[in-house]
Amino acid sequence: MAAVDSVKLFADRFQGTALTPGEVGYDDARSLWNGDIDRHPLVIAQCVTDEHVVEALAFGVEQGIDISVRGGGHNFAGHGVTEGGVMIDLSDMHDVTVDTAARRVRCGGGTTWADLDAATQEHGLAVTGGVISHTGVAGLSLGGGIGWLTRKAGLSCDNLLSARVATVDGRVVNASADENNDLFWALRGGGGNFGVVTEFEFALHDVGPLVQLGLFFWGTEQGPDAFRFMRDYIAGLPDDTGVQIVGLNAPPLPFVPEQYHFAPGYILAVVGWGSPEEHAAVVQPIRDTLPPLFEMVTPIPYTDLQKMLDDAAPWGILAYEKALYLDDLTDDAIAVLSDHFPRKSSPMSIMPIFAMGGAYANPGEDDTAFGGSREAKWIVNISAIAPEAAVLDAERTWVRTFWDALRPEASGSGTYVNFLNDADEDRLRASYGAAKYDRLAQIKSKYDPDNRLHLNANINPAR
Ligand SMILES: Cc1cc2nc3c(=O)[nH]c(=O)nc-3n(C[C@H](O)[C@H](O)[C@H](O)COP(=O)(O)OP(=O)(O)OC[C@H]3O[C@@H](n4cnc5c(N)ncnc54)[C@H](O)[C@@H]3O)c2cc1C
């Protein structure tokens, strides 16, 4: 652990804002989205420039203490904050610059999707982001990045054009197809292992500003029928349709009939990028085949779509998750989903099921470092979300039991690394596959040979 004097010396000379225990703002700055995480860094280095990041990294390296990097602070395991090390806080690095002619956007390493979407949507442009707007662009994109646009535009990381990276040896380097190509490959799925990204550059796509949303709800008692219907219906959708199934308790919103407020069930969300008429034709078979208990079909600004689920996952809530890939929603998988989802005890716990395919499947398996097969059809996420610790404890058991029961249906033993609450080397190896993991380990040994950046879905440097 660094001597108190060293911390004071660093805090005094640091050009950004340094916060130490007891100072105003320290507790706010160390808090993450997951309120179950309670760690106390020796010092929080709030950065605004690349130089600040280099200084903070150098302090952590010199002192031999843990270094955590906080982008949006959403990581379930709380990798953004360290107990007794230096926390590099990027949340003030959120400038967004849109180049409409080149259809590109640059953003700082601490930008949230809310910031990025607001800036790009002024020009009717967007890049694939997550489905909760206060998630960080950084962690989400470095691990992959799945959202409403995945089937239309690929993963967030598939759209990365370049990045500026502060490395643990004190340099700031660019990574792109033309410069440090090994690093560029690793940043597209390999997480925060290789350095601190101070700026991202993404390709943009025409989106909205208005898009077409359809929400359709069935109760848990209709589970097997609803899942079989959704599986077959989604298989016939246009490739670029945004689609997600979410197990949840119906919110008490105006479009939900009062008798279904808080009722547990399954929402099918279908997002179209074209006209209301095209979307109406796409969703009509839902009513014709398995009429939902209630529905809402409406045009919606893309920025509102990106915030639609924010209230389901508020900042500071307690959470735990597990996830897996499925090649198919087999009848056996459906039996497990319909049996286990209703056993949750926290009304806030949710089960988002992302339908992959479309543009997600376009890149070759080795084009990026993404940890998952491009042939995977579904990612099932089982998330315990609870307002207090005792409820979270019970829900952890629910998540683990549910996940164990679903595992025989999974495609392999890997998972999407951004949904890996309990990452260990075996699960990461399984997620990337041995060859990709080994390639990442080689690149790690070049950029971070002593594994100074290990508070992440950690790749062990090759020896
Ligand atoms: C409510 C909620 C909703 C989510 N929805 C989605 C979704 O729709 N789609 C999806 O794909 N994922 C989703 N996720 C998962 C999300 O992708 C991960 O939690 C991701 O790690 C969040 O990134 P962050 O920057 O907010 O997190 P942080 O906790 O700040 O960071 C996550 C990891 O990235 C590293 N890191 C952060 N910033 C940088 C940087 N600038 N340079 C280098 N390393 C960095 C951190 O050290 C840490 O290891 C969701 C998570 C939550 C909690």
By DSSP bridging, strand 205-206 and strand 125-126 are: antiparallel
131 CB within 6 A, ligand 1: yes
Residue 103 CA to residue 306 CA, distance in Å, equals 20
Beta carbon of 71 within 6 Å of any ligand 1 atom = yes
Q: Which of 37, 39, 50, 75 should be mutated for ligand 1, with most atoms under 8 A from CB?
A: 75
Instruction: Output the six-digit token pair for 53.
Output: 């990041």
Which residue reads 């409406």 in tokens? Answer: 298
Q: What gap in Å lies between CA 66 and CA 374, rounded to an integer?
A: 34
Q: Ligand 1 centroid vs 342 CA: distance in angstroms? A: 28
Task: Choose the weakest-confidence range: 63-67, 151-155, 417-421.
Answer: 417-421
Q: Which one-letter amino acid corresponds to residue 396?
A: R
Distance 315 CA to ligand 1 centre (A): 13
3-class SS at 329?
coil
Q: Which atom of ligand 1 is nearest to the CA of 78?
A: 29
pLDDT at 463: 86
Q: Which of 69, 305, 458 to mutate to test the pocket of ligand 1 (most atoms within 8 A of CB)?
A: 69
pLDDT digits (tens, 9 = 90+) for 129-139: 999 999 999 99
**Is the C-beta atom of 69 inside 6 A of ligand 1?**
yes
Per the DSSP assignment, residues forming a β-bridge with 203 are: 104
pLDDT higher than threshold 70 for residue 2 = no
Q: Are 46 and 92 in contact (CB under 8 A)?
A: yes
> Is the pLDDT confidence value at 404 over 80?
yes
For residue 3, pLDDT beyond 70: no
Distance of CA 422 to the CA centre of its chain: 15
Single out the residue of 255, 307, 306, 298 nearest to residue 279, CA to CA.
298
DSSP 361: G
Please determine, for residue 1, whether its predicted confidence score (pLDDT) is greater than 90: no
Short-list 421, 433, 430, CA closest to 457: 421
Mean pLDDT value across residues 343-371 = 97
Q: Span 210-419: which CATH code?
A: 3.40.462.20
405 C-alpha to ligand 1 centroid (Å): 27
Instruction: Determine the Cα–Cα distance for residues 15 and 10; give it in Å rounded to an integer.
Output: 9
- Among 191, 199, 197, 75, which residue's Cα sits nearest to residue 451? 191
Which overall architecture, per CATH, does domain 4-89 show? 2-Layer Sandwich (3.30)
Taking the C-alpha atoms of residue 242 and residue 213, their distance in angstroms, rounded to an integer, is 9
The predicted-structure confidence for 186-203, as pLDDT tens digits, reads as follows 999 999 999 999 999 999
Measured CA to CA, the distance from residue 60 to residue 161 in angstroms comes to 29
Lowest mean pLDDT among 7-11, 15-19, 28-32, 410-414: 410-414
Strands 196-203 and 160-166: antiparallel
Burial of 291 (0-12, 13-18, 19+ CB in 10 A): exposed
Residue 79 in contact with ligand 1 by CB distance below 6 A: yes
Q: What's the gap in Å between 456 CA and the centre of ligand 1?
A: 10
To the nearest 10°, the Cα dihedral for 82, 87, 92, 93? -100
Task: List the strands of the sheet with 43-46, edge to edge.
Answer: 17-19, 43-46, 86-89, 67-70
At which residue do the structure tokens 């398995």 appear? 290
Distance 74 CA to ligand 1 centre (A): 5
Q: Whose CA is nearest to atom 52 of ligand 1?
A: 74
pLDDT band at 411 (very low <50, low <70, confident <90, very high): confident
* 312 residue type, one letter: A
Bin 460: left if φ > 0, else alpha if -120 < ψ < 50, else beta.
beta
- pLDDT band with cut points at 50, 70 and 90 for residue 448: very high
How does strand 17-19 pair with strand 43-46? antiparallel
Q: Nearest-CA neighbor of 421 among 320, 333, 345? A: 320
Average pLDDT of the chain is 96
For ligand 1, what atom is nearest to the CA of residue 139?
Answer: 23
pLDDT of residue 165 exceeding 90, the answer is yes
| Residue 442 pLDDT exceeds 80 | yes
User: Identical fold at 96-207+433-447 and 210-419?
Assistant: no
d(CA 264, CA 238): 29
Domain positions in the chain are: 4-89, 96-207+433-447, 210-419
Q: Is 145 in the pocket of ligand 1 (CB under 6 A)?
A: yes
Backbone angles phi, psi at 365, to 5 degrees: -55, -35
According to DSSP, the β-strands at 43-46 and 86-89 are parallel
Residue 422: per-residue pLDDT: 81
Overall average pLDDT of the 392-420 stretch: 93
Topology at the third CATH level for domain 96-207+433-447: 3.30.465
Q: Which atom of ligand 1 is nearest to the CA of 457?
A: 49
* 354 pLDDT higher than 80: yes
pLDDT at residue 259 greater than cutoff 80: yes
- 142 C-beta closer than 6 A to ligand 1: yes
